[in-house]
Structure 1
Amino acid sequence: MTIASDFDTELASHEIYSDPERMHEMFETLRREDPVHWTTAPGHPPFWAVTKQADVIEVGKHPDVFIASPKSFLMNDVEQRVRIEETAATGGKLVRTMIHMDDPDHKKYRGLTQSYFMPANIKRLESVIQERARALVGRLIEKGTSEFCSEIAVWYPLQIVMTLLDVPESEHPYLLKLTQQFLAPKDPTLRRDGPDERGKGAVAKEYFAYFGKMLAERRAAPLKEDLGSLIAHATVDGEPLPLMEAVSYYVILATAGHDTTSSSMCSGLYYLLTQPGELDRLRARPELMPSAIEEMFRHGSPVKHFVRTATRDFELRGKKIQAGDEVALMYHSASFDEEVFDEPRSFRIDRGPNKHVAFGFGIHACLGQNLARASMRTFFTELLARTESIEVVGKAEFIASNQVGGMKTLNIRVTPSKQSTTDRIEVAA
């Protein structure tokens, strides 16, 4: 019989996320046998793995007890030592985004752009979102067979976010490469070449150089309506944002702002195509698109975990968490909790209520979730309207990352609808 401690090494690893069946076996065992599990993996600092949704939410309700600093993701001993060396060499942190902040700073910095991502403002972006969706679905139809993740999904949310930041399109490929290297430092095909323990720090330095230059240019120019200018001219406590925090703001928007959505697009399409009957049902009942999108987010759960550090002793499900302990909130597991979801492994486009935590919970809940929902709804509505059939071709692959991840490879074949074919003929004429 498999016991929870059998998974200690894999709990701390990146590789298990490239094997969904093994990952689900691990989390199902932990939720059943030891949902608040003290994990001791070789080469890693020990930590508590929290796998049930009620416990993840309970931790999120106490941001004063479970803080985001000094680190937000699991690190092995070597990575932790390298991070200390790198920060010592630079005289401070490599980046300091809202992910790394606690209140009162977190509240102040989040408030700078929170209104920008509210539904009313997202509605004003509909033309940008629609334009990008139409162009990329058109590319899919023109090619017939495509690798969806690298040719479509990574570009769609990237183009939207970079449009908001007013970053030239010629620079999008460079920023995409940095994002993939930053968020998947262990994946053999996405990581930066060389010792992967230092790869993330090297990427952070490149981000700092790129966005530091952009910040200086935006501050030297008058305030405009784009998000990049808004951040450059923003103030906290009456003062301009410090260089580290301003550049880090750009970094979090450039990474979490699009990579989570692209991961959800890939995995969402995969589950829609591989769950028998669901694609046909969504075509027949387009009013189910909003609930289908939520199910895509739940199944993909692109942010795999965050780490919190206990500031004082706390009891959770009978376990004594001590001050200084690291606590890993396993969001992917929490969104498959059997006590919350009926048949959680089943992909149902009409699932409701769908109380997933794919966007996190509490003060650190995803700032851009309204934009992610709008982008996904627009893209999949466009895709289904302009295609007659979509099918998976070959074997799909998943990213080896315990930070942000999902599908890495999804080859698909599409057949255009008659209306879409007519549109192409009219454009050509």
Structure 2
Amino acid sequence: MNIAELDQALASHELFSNIENMHATFQWVRRNDPLHWTDAPDHPPFWAVTKHADVIEVGKHPDVFVAEPKTFLLNDEESRIRAEETAATGGKMVRTMIHMDGTDHRKYRGLTQAWFMPASIKRLDAVIRERASDLVTQMLERDGRCDFYNDIAVWYPLRIIMGLLNVPESDHAYLLHLTQQFLAPKDETLRREGSEGQGKGAVAKEYFAYFGKLLADRRSRPQTEDLDSSIAHAQVDGQPLGLMEAVSYYVILATAGHDTTSSSMGSGLYYLLRNPAEQERLRAGPELMPTAVEEMFRFASPVKHFVRTATQDFELRGKTIRAGQELALMYHSANFDEEVFEDPLRFKLDRSPNRQIAFGYGVHACLGQNLARASMRAFFSELLARTEWLELDGEPNFISTNQVGGLKTLPVRYASARMAA
């Protein structure tokens, strides 16, 4: 493989819009140079970490490999614009848990961690199932065809998380649009128009304006037990959250809180449709749902990478990572590592063990993973119980993003169990 072309691919967003090419690229890197020094034109160089064991090893050393100052790969122009924005505002526009390290990260994560523990998610079971039932009903009220991703998948987790934040339903479509623009800044049909890097900055400003108003409203009222109110009135070290940190808290819940799950839903159904025998196996054996959902997450790997920066020299896979160098943790590659997953490209509902790390690993592991699992189990249980069959109705498209995403369209045909009877 041409190394210059490889480096360009590993730094690009386009790699993830072609699943076959993505798998072939990562497979070559894992076999030939699994910790690959990537020096693409117009990009700062970085280490591409493609093996499961190496992603975990980096996650075990959060003091050595830190989230600040960068969480996603940026090209030179994006880096320049980010620096100019930081200089103009005196700091970052958004600072969420994924941007934090050490004590800061622990304190801010702890503010809402109880909300996303299994016991709390269990209390949301009725709400989750109601949302799942509503969306499947809407799907079955159509003429047996829909774009599953855009008509169904994007709305289900969005309504759950926005409900927890008490965001009016009339605003859901607007916030969904912002999320798609924010997490797919290079996709031709989803990105915000503007020069390189500026489109995402404009989206961040809109997020800040919207949730700034929500924050002011919640702080003007007495505190309640609701999630949105808990954030508004939260304190760290005895002081209320700063404006940026409080608004950023809403932003991370309103973006990662639903987009990762909707991406996993789309991918999960896509691979069920590509594997009809497994679809029927799951329909006939709902007890397989927990392991099936884990396999869906593995195939989806909605967070494509995170960047970490080395604070000191570190030996990994026989190479020296120097202090100040960046690493891109390639989660999608790690989840198809042949040394960890037997026949990794096979979609296997009862795969066990399944050591997928779609939710990350270590202190930055996804806060909402229990909610994501419960939501996926509820939806697919409802969908398969109320349909006789589902199949592809055309070629799907994947989002061009190396940040967070998956399918962009998923045309499907189906028949309800009632219709088939």
With normalisation by structure 2, the TM-score equals 0.98
CA distance in 2, matches of 1:340, 1:26: 18
Q: Contact conserved, 1:3 with 1:29, CA < 8 A, in 2? A: no
Q: Contact conserved, 1:268 with 1:299, CA < 8 A, in 2? A: yes
Offset at residue 3 of structure 1 (A)? 5.7
Q: Which runs of 5+ in 2 are unaligned?
A: none
Which residue is 1:68 aligned to?
Answer: 67
Q: Contact conserved, 1:145 with 1:411, CA < 8 A, in 2? A: yes
Which residue is 1:328 aligned to?
Answer: 328
CA distance in 2, matches of 1:196, 1:271: 34
Offset at residue 285 of structure 1 (A)? 1.0
Which residue is 1:155 aligned to?
Answer: 155
- Where 1:146 maps in the other structure, the secondary structure is strand
CA offset digits 1:81-123 (Å, max 9, x no partner): 0001111111110100001000110000000000100010001
1:245 aligns with 2:224: no
Runs of 4+ in 1 over 6 A off after TM superposition: none
- Where 1:210 maps in the other structure, the secondary structure is helix
One-letter amino acid of the counterpart of residue 352, structure 2? G
CA distance in 2, matches of 1:33, 1:5: 15
Q: Contact conserved, 1:161 with 1:253, CA < 8 A, in 2? A: yes
CA distance in 2, matches of 1:195, 1:269: 35
1:52 aligns with 2:51: yes
Aligned length: 420
Q: Contact conserved, 1:180 with 1:191, CA < 8 A, in 2? A: yes
CA distance in 1, matches of 2:41, 2:287: 49
One-letter amino acid of the counterpart of residue 345, structure 1? L
Q: Contact conserved, 1:3 with 1:33, CA < 8 A, in 2? A: no
Which residue is 2:357 aligned to?
Answer: 357
CA distance in 2, matches of 1:4, 1:361: 29
Q: Which runs of 5+ in 1 are unaligned?
A: 423-429
One-letter amino acid of the counterpart of residue 341, structure 2? F
1:128 aligns with 2:113: no
Q: Contact conserved, 1:4 with 1:34, CA < 8 A, in 2? A: no
Offset at residue 5 of structure 1 (A)? 5.3
Q: Contact conserved, 2:77 with 2:196, CA < 8 A, in 1? A: no
Which residue is 2:92 aligned to?
Answer: 93
Which residue is 2:9 aligned to?
Answer: 10
1:165-184 mapped onto 2 (5 Å cutoff):
165-184=165-184
1:397-408 mapped onto 2 (5 Å cutoff):
397-408=397-408
Structure 1 residues 196, 177: CA separation in 2 closer, same or farther (over 3 Å shift)?
farther
Q: Contact conserved, 2:386 with 2:416, CA < 8 A, in 1? A: yes
Which residue is 1:220 aligned to?
Answer: 220
Q: Contact conserved, 2:387 with 2:417, CA < 8 A, in 1? A: yes
- Where 1:194 maps in the other structure, the secondary structure is coil
1:343-422 mapped onto 2 (5 Å cutoff):
343-418=343-418
- Where 1:373 maps in the other structure, the secondary structure is helix
Give percent identity, aligned residues only: 69
Which residue is 1:141 aligned to?
Answer: 140
Q: Contact conserved, 1:231 with 1:249, CA < 8 A, in 2? A: yes
CA distance in 2, matches of 1:196, 1:258: 26
Q: Contact conserved, 2:4 with 2:40, CA < 8 A, in 1? A: no
Offset at residue 393 of structure 1 (A)? 0.4
CA distance in 1, matches of 2:277, 2:215: 49
One-letter amino acid of the counterpart of residue 165, structure 1? L
Offset at residue 392 of structure 1 (A)? 0.6
CA distance in 2, matches of 1:292, 1:255: 25
One-letter amino acid of the counterpart of residue 10, structure 2? L
Offset at residue 4 of structure 1 (A)? 5.5
Offset at residue 222 of structure 1 (A)? 1.0
Q: Contact conserved, 1:118 with 1:370, CA < 8 A, in 2? A: yes
Offset at residue 194 of structure 1 (A)? 2.3
CA distance in 2, matches of 1:117, 1:349: 26
CA distance in 2, matches of 1:293, 1:211: 32
CA distance in 1, matches of 2:313, 2:177: 41
Q: Contact conserved, 1:309 with 1:325, CA < 8 A, in 2? A: yes
Which residue is 1:235 aligned to?
Answer: 235
Which residue is 2:27 aligned to?
Answer: 28
Offset at residue 276 of structure 1 (A)? 3.9
Q: Contact conserved, 1:338 with 1:344, CA < 8 A, in 2? A: yes
CA offset digits 1:224-254 (Å, max 9, x no partner): 1221111001100011001110000000000
CA distance in 2, matches of 1:366, 1:64: 18
Which residue is 1:119 aligned to?
Answer: 118
CA-based RMSD of the aligned residues comes to: 1.1
Which residue is 1:270 aligned to?
Answer: 270
CA distance in 2, matches of 1:4, 1:99: 31
- Where 1:394 maps in the other structure, the secondary structure is coil
One-letter amino acid of the counterpart of residue 207, structure 1? Y
Which residue is 1:259 aligned to?
Answer: 259
CA distance in 2, matches of 1:239, 1:46: 39
One-letter amino acid of the counterpart of residue 138, structure 2? R
Offset at residue 414 of structure 1 (A)? 1.4
With normalisation by structure 1, the TM-score equals 0.97
Which residue is 2:109 aligned to?
Answer: 110
CA distance in 1, matches of 2:96, 2:213: 18
CA distance in 2, matches of 1:186, 1:213: 29
Which residue is 1:425 aligned to?
Answer: none
Offset at residue 138 of structure 1 (A)? 0.6
CA offset digits 1:343-392 (Å, max 9, x no partner): 00010001111001100000000000000000000000000010001111
CA distance in 2, matches of 1:370, 1:196: 36
Q: Contact conserved, 1:4 with 1:29, CA < 8 A, in 2? A: no
Offset at residue 131 of structure 1 (A)? 1.1
CA distance in 1, matches of 2:167, 2:196: 28
- Where 1:277 maps in the other structure, the secondary structure is helix
